[in-house]
């Protein structure tokens, strides 16, 4: 099977508008979590958010997009997409090549402007400019149209593992020979719909999330978009190769619609399948970028899964959601890029806000920036509602 | 990839044998609601009450197959919108109660991956699980995903794939703003011949058991192709290439099963392609049965499988010769175009 390399990365989150800015925030241990100023909701007074520091108008300027009916989901997707394809040096001809796939993902999708959707869905007041943009896949279609993409296109929604599955699918398309190149990732912006949904489940922390801490009280919602350019080894030539997509596992927990099982059967199967497909043993993993949402349930289950697979030798791990918040569908791709930065720079970015290990588990994440490390293999986990879970392994190019 | 069994909940009596025996359910209210079975035989009442229609139909069509085929490892669903009714119900609460204290049921039910998640939960399937939401290509995406899983499997494997879409008042309102529906009143029997703007709204759940071995298969998925925003001539060339790649030419297609929706603004896509590439081929349509919705192409595949099996009793199909190959073509709004090439089980024909 052909190897699949990452040759371009683009990302936008509360840590910065570009990968470079985000890398600086990661190194400076500067979290993107704080008080939201662009997002309008009664909860901005009570809860912290990880908001992208740009208004919709600023994003329109940054992406040179003046089309009507373009939502914030599409704008942040466009921003990250543009950075990724420029970084991967893809020409317009390569973008429009039928053998270039585009796989995106989102949970809130085009429904990010709750109030205009309310008016249009209930036939109240004048029709908004977004009436044709509400579908979950609208941002994908807008990008396909704008960049005249002619290859395989897809949009995935497996909740919080969505963009991890986009990376997985892009890799398999290339391995199978159905595509030579794939632009993969996802986008989700802050929306009343999601905030109220997670709030109704009582899993939002009133202070910035503290993954893997004994006193964690829930997650912090964030927004973000990230795309990676994946290319078949025979096409890469002398291009920069950030890392190889080495392995993947997708499994379902089959336990509860919005909680993970005590025995971590889904996460365990995803992680084991990822190791097996990468032909690696647990001891080969140098760093785990954990799902680590900061909810009582997830971190307990994920810790159990780590101990089950790695025994007493759990590799260095951290949840960078302590920086970016939980960017939902985008999280898998945002964290894939952080994993790739770890490999390229030999660094591990810390798990912020950690004080005390979870009792009975005793696992301590990396809490200070580690540099000059040899990082060959990184595992990145994403688990979501509906029992969906995906584990990816990225490896240093040899 | 082989299809072992199909099941549909649709605006026709597809859950029993009536549809296959020639019954045609006439809908004259402008909306084709699905005819739902009694779910209580296999969904506990307490669970059923909480389920939105999309989830309910998805479980109704999928769970009996999951139970019947213990070899099913994973579940892959395509749905453009998932549980929209629950979604907007929750959204209305957000606005009406000014972001007050809300119950999470509608939120959890509204996520598009709730169908695949519930099927995994109720069928205890911890294997591969995914949900594609790519508009009218979502089922095509699910099918290719399955193909990738099956062709790399080292042992015989089965998966459940399918598509679900529900009509809610809200998406009907939004799609009406998008002029998707006819302003005049016609029945589904008259739909395909209509040339005015818009179509009739439909809904349903279609599920298929697919496998990487031909044992007991009822049809084979030869290949599929998709493209967005093509030009007319470009599309003709692309379909030629697609058939060529599979060692075929237009003359090898016995039957075209098209997603004509009676929308005078977009049906030319089907008509022109037929005239250009398949002028002397048998052609028929399926949206007179299902109505129009993003993932109706899955129902097209359901009908195609029945035809490949030799059923000619389906209403209006008595003149068709049994095909060995069927090309299903579905597009929505002229934006995303999906093609699925199916072949009958050669052994069963011989």
| pLDDT score for A138 | 96
Residue B186 and residue B271 in one domain: no
Residue B198 and residue B227 in one domain: no
For the segment B307-317, what is each residue's pLDDT rounded down to a tens digit? 999 998 999 99
Does the annotation count A215 as an active-site position?
A: no
Whole-number average pLDDT of chain A: 96
Residue A201 and residue A304 in one domain: no
Residue A231 and residue A250 in one domain: no
Residue A335 and residue A315 in one domain: yes
> Which residues are within 8 A (CB) of A130 and not within 5 positions of it... i.e. 6 or more apart?
A69, A71, A110, A113, A116, A117, A120
For the segment B185-194, what is each residue's pLDDT rounded down to a tens digit? 999 999 999 9
Residue A223 and residue A253 in one domain: no
With cut-offs at 50, 70 and 90, classify the pLDDT of residue A389: very high
Residue B184 and residue B241 in one domain: no
C-alpha distances out from residue A334 to A188, A285, A315, B32, Å: 11, 20, 21, 42
Token code pair at residue A256:
């509860």
| pLDDT score for A259 | 87
Residue B328 maps to a domain: yes
Range of the domain at B290: 219-344
Closest-CA distance, A25 to chain B, in angstroms, reads 32
| pLDDT score for A111 | 87
| pLDDT score for A90 | 98
For the segment B254-264, what is each residue's pLDDT rounded down to a tens digit? 999 999 999 99
Helix (H, G, I), strand (E, B) or coil at B285: strand
Last residue of one domain, picked from the residues B177, B211, B245: B211
| Neighboring chain A residues of B93 at a CB cutoff of 8 Å | 196
Residue B145 and residue B56 in one domain: yes
| pLDDT score for B106 | 87
Model-level pTM? 0.97
Last residue of one domain, picked from the residues A209, A236, A263: A236
| Neighboring chain A residues of B1 at a CB cutoff of 8 Å | none
Domain count, chain A: 2
Residue B303 and residue B234 in one domain: yes
Residue B132 and residue B168 in one domain: yes
Helix (H, G, I), strand (E, B) or coil at B309: coil
Output b/e per residue, B281-293; b: 16+ Cβ within 10 A.
ebbbbbbbbbbbb
Residue B189 and residue B82 in one domain: yes
Of the candidates A240, A343, A332, the residue with the CA atom closest to the CA atom of residue A291 = A332
Residue B113 maps to a domain: yes
Residue A304 and residue A271 in one domain: yes
For the segment A88-110, what is each residue's pLDDT rounded down to a tens digit? 999 999 999 999 999 999 999 98
Backbone angles phi, psi at A370, to 5 degrees: -110, 130
Helix axes A265-278, A296-310, angle to 10 degrees: 40
| pLDDT score for A27 | 98
Last residue of one domain, picked from the residues B156, B176, B211: B211
Residue A241 maps to a domain: no
Cβ pair B127:A251 closer than 8 A: yes
Residue A88 and residue A223 in one domain: yes
**Range A230-254 average pLDDT:** 96
Please provide the size of chain A in residues: 398
Residue A279 and residue A165 in one domain: no
Last residue of one domain, picked from the residues B163, B192, B211: B211
Give the CATH number of the domain where residue A227 resides. 3.40.47.10
Residue A367 maps to a domain: yes
Residue A253 and residue A220 in one domain: no
Helix (H) or strand (E) holding B328: strand B325-332
Residue A203 and residue A269 in one domain: no
Domain count, chain B: 2
For the segment B194-241, what is each residue's pLDDT rounded down to a tens digit? 999 999 999 999 999 999 999 999 999 999 999 999 999 999 999 999
Residue B350 maps to a domain: no
Helix (H) or strand (E) holding A64: none
With cut-offs at 50, 70 and 90, classify the pLDDT of residue A61: very high
Of the candidates B107, B161, B117, the residue with the CA atom closest to the CA atom of residue A389 = B117
Is residue B78 predicted with pLDDT exceeding 80? yes
For the segment A305-349, what is each residue's pLDDT rounded down to a tens digit? 999 999 999 999 999 999 999 999 999 999 999 999 999 999 999
Of the candidates A26, A36, A316, the residue with the CA atom closest to the CA atom of residue A191 = A36
Last residue of one domain, picked from the residues A236, A259, A294: A236
Last residue of one domain, picked from the residues A217, A236, A255: A236
Does the annotation count A345 as an active-site position?
A: no
Closest-CA distance, A158 to chain B, in angstroms, reads 5
Residue B349 maps to a domain: no
Model ipTM value: 0.97
Residue A49 and residue A149 in one domain: yes
Q: Do the beta carbons of residue B315 and residue B305 sit within 8 Å? A: no
Cβ pair B104:A122 closer than 8 A: no
Residue B234 and residue B280 in one domain: yes
| pLDDT score for B347 | 58
Residue B181 and residue B240 in one domain: no
| pLDDT score for B87 | 87
| Neighboring chain B residues of A264 at a CB cutoff of 8 Å | none
| pLDDT score for B348 | 54
Is residue B349 predicted with pLDDT exceeding 80? no
For the segment B86-133, what is each residue's pLDDT rounded down to a tens digit? 888 898 999 999 998 898 988 888 899 999 999 999 999 999 999 999
Residue B92 and residue B167 in one domain: yes
Cβ pair B111:A159 closer than 8 A: yes
Range of the domain at A221: 4-236
Q: Report the percentage of chain B scoring pLDDT > 70.
A: 99
Does the annotation count A344 as an active-site position?
A: no
Residue A61 and residue A173 in one domain: yes
| pLDDT score for B252 | 97
Please give the angle made by the CA atoms of A386, A392 and A393, to the nearest 5 degrees. Answer: 165
Cβ pair A136:B81 closer than 8 A: yes
| Neighboring chain A residues of B78 at a CB cutoff of 8 Å | none
| pLDDT score for A271 | 98
For the segment B122-165, what is each residue's pLDDT rounded down to a tens digit? 999 999 999 999 999 999 999 999 999 999 999 999 999 999 99
Q: Catalytic: which of A38, A112, A139, A160?
A: A160
Give the CATH number of the domain where residue B223 resides. 3.40.47.10
Residue A118 maps to a domain: yes
Q: Report the percentage of chain B scoring pLDDT > 90.
A: 87
Cβ pair A155:B101 closer than 8 A: no
d(Cα B340, Cα B348) in Å, to the nearest integer? 21
| pLDDT score for B350 | 40
Residue A164 and residue A277 in one domain: no
Q: Tokens 């896949």 — which residue?
A: A137
Cβ pair B135:A141 closer than 8 A: yes
Residue B46 and residue B130 in one domain: yes
| pLDDT score for B31 | 95
Residue B240 maps to a domain: yes
């Amino acid at each position: 099977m052909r190897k699949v390399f990452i040759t371009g990365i683009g990302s936008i989150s509360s840590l910065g508008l570009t990968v470079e800015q985000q890398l600086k925030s990661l190194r400076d241990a500067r979290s993107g979590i704080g008080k939201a100023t662009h997002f309008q909701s009664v909860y901005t007074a009570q809860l912290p958010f990880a908001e992208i520091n740009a208004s919709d108008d600023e994003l329109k300027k940054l992406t040179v997009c003046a089309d009507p009916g373009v939502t914030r989901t599409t704008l942040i997707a466009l921003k990250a997409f543009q950075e990724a394809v420029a970084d991967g040096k893809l020409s317009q001809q390569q973008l429009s090549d039928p053998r270039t796939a585009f796989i995106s993902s989102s949970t809130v999708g085009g429904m990010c402007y709750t109030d205009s959707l309310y008016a249009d869905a209930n036939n109240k007041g004048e029709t908004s400019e977004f009436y044709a943009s509400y579908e979950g896949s609208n941002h994908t279609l807008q990008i396909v149209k704008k960049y005249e993409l002619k290859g395989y296109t897809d949009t995935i929604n497996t909740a919080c593992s969505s963009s991890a599955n986009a990376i997985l699918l892009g890799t398999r398309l290339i391995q199978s020979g159905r595509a030579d190149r794939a632009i993969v990732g996802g986008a989700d912006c802050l929306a009343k719909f999601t905030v109220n949904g997670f709030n109704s489940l009582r899993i939002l922390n009133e202070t910035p999330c503290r993954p893997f801490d004994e006193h964690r009280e829930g997650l912090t919602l964030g927004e973000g978009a990230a795309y990676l350019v994946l290319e078949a080894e025979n096409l890469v030539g002398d291009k920069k190769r950030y890392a190889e997509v080495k392995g993947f596992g997708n499994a379902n927990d089959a336990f509860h619609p919005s909680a993970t099982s005590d025995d971590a059967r889904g996460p365990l199967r995803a992680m084991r399948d990822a190791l097996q497909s990468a032909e690696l043993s647990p001891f080969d993993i140098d760093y785990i970028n954990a799902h680590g949402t900061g909810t009582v349930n997830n971190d307990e289950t994920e810790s159990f899964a780590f101990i089950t697979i790695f025994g007493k030798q759990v590799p260095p791990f951290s949840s960078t959601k302590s920086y970016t918040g939980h960017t939902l569908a985008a999280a898998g791709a945002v964290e894939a890029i952080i994993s790739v930065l770890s490999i390229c720079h030999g660094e591990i970015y810390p798990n912020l806000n950690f004080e005390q290990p979870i009792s009975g588990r005793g696992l301590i994440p990396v809490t200070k920036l580690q540099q000059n490390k040899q990082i060959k293999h990184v595992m990145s986990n994403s688990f979501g509602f509906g029992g969906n879970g995906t584990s990816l392994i990225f490896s240093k190019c040899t | 990839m082989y299809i072992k069994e199909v099941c549909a909940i649709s605006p026709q009596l597809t859950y029993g044998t009536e549809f296959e025996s020639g019954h045609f359910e006439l809908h004259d209210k402008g909306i084709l609601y699905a005819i739902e079975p009694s779910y209580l035989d296999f969904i506990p009442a307490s669970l059923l009450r909480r389920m939105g229609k999309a989830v309910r139909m998805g479980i109704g069509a999928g769970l009996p197959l999951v139970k019947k085929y213990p070899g099913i490892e994973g579940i892959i669903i395509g749905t453009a919108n998932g549980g929209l009714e629950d979604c907007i119900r929750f959204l209305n609460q957000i606005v009406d109660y000014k972001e007050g204290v809300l119950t999470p049921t509608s939120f959890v039910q509204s996520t598009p991956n709730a169908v695949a998640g519930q099927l995994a939960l109720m069928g205890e399937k911890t294997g591969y699980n995914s949900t594609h939401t790519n508009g009218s290509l979502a089922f095509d995406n699910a099918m290719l995903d399955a193909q990738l899983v099956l062709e790399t499997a080292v042992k015989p494997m089965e998966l459940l794939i399918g598509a679900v879409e529900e009509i809610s008042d809200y998406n009907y309102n939004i799609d009406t703003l998008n002029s998707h529906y006819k302003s005049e009143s016609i029945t589904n029997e008259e739909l395909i011949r209509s040339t005015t703007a818009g179509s009739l709204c439909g809904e349903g759940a279609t599920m298929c058991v697919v496998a990487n071995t031909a044992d007991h298969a009822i049809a084979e998925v030869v290949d599929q192709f998709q493209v967005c925003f093509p030009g007319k001539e470009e599309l003709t060339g692309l379909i030629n290439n697609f058939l060529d790649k599979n060692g075929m030419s237009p003359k090898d297609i016995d039957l075209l099963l098209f997603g004509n929706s009676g929308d005078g603004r977009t049906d030319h896509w089907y008509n022109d392609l037929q005239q250009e590439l398949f002028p002397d081929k048998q052609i028929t349509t399926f949206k007179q049965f299902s109505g129009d919705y993003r993932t109706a192409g899955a129902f097209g595949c359901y009908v195609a499988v029945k035809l490949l099996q030799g059923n000619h009793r389906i209403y209006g199909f008595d003149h068709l010769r049994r095909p060995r190959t069927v090309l299903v073509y579905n597009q929505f709004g002229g934006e995303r175009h999906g093609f699925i090439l199916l072949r009958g089980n050669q052994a069963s024909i011989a």
